[in-house]
Structure 1
Amino acid sequence: MSKTSEEKKLDKKLKSIRCVGECKCGGKLIISVLAPKSERFTISCMECGSVSDARFPKKGDAYTLNGIDDNTIKLICRIYEQEKIVITDKDIEETPISPLVNKLHGEV
């Protein structure tokens, strides 16, 4: 049985999600490598709905990739490099904080 176009879209979205750590609440922190350039630093908790910016991690959140604790920017850059997406210093400095970022678990 072949997949419908909606199922294929969902598969693509699910494959784009990367776990980048653990939220203060214990939920998984995720990013999407398909996110538009303006949302590349946006990190969401699947459990509580906290949304943060990787450049300004919220206190109590732990960022890890393959069991290695790391600086959040380095971690995000490594994830995007695996997808052949280069994040420049200019991107890091000049991309505005997403309006999706919320105050749950603290200010940015």
Structure 2
Amino acid sequence: SARIRARLSELRETEARVAQVVLDQGAALVHLSVSDVAALAGTASSTVVRTCQRLGFRGFQELKLEAARQAPGPPPPPVDEPAAHALAATLHASRD
């Protein structure tokens, strides 16, 4: 999102609306299609794709991947749930 905010002033009005929708949606962007974003921004799907490219992404899919990467992970399990804690520890160990 810092990448998008840094380039907002370079965008045309319709592109800025697309960028604002992207920023507003955050991690939820991964559940939206190009058409969904276009509808939310009040513009065409082609403008969404062009905006993604002007922001330095190859296209909408790459932007969605970036949004997914920046999404916060799941919260840690409550300490009083031993099974959840064991599962979290196993997942953490497998990532390492």
> What range is the shorter-chain TM-score in?
0.3 to 0.5
Relative to total residues, which structure has the larger helix share, 1 or 2? 2
Relative to total residues, which structure has the larger strand share, 1 or 2? 1
Bigger radius of gyration: 2
Give the TM-score of the pair, scaled to structure 1.
0.33
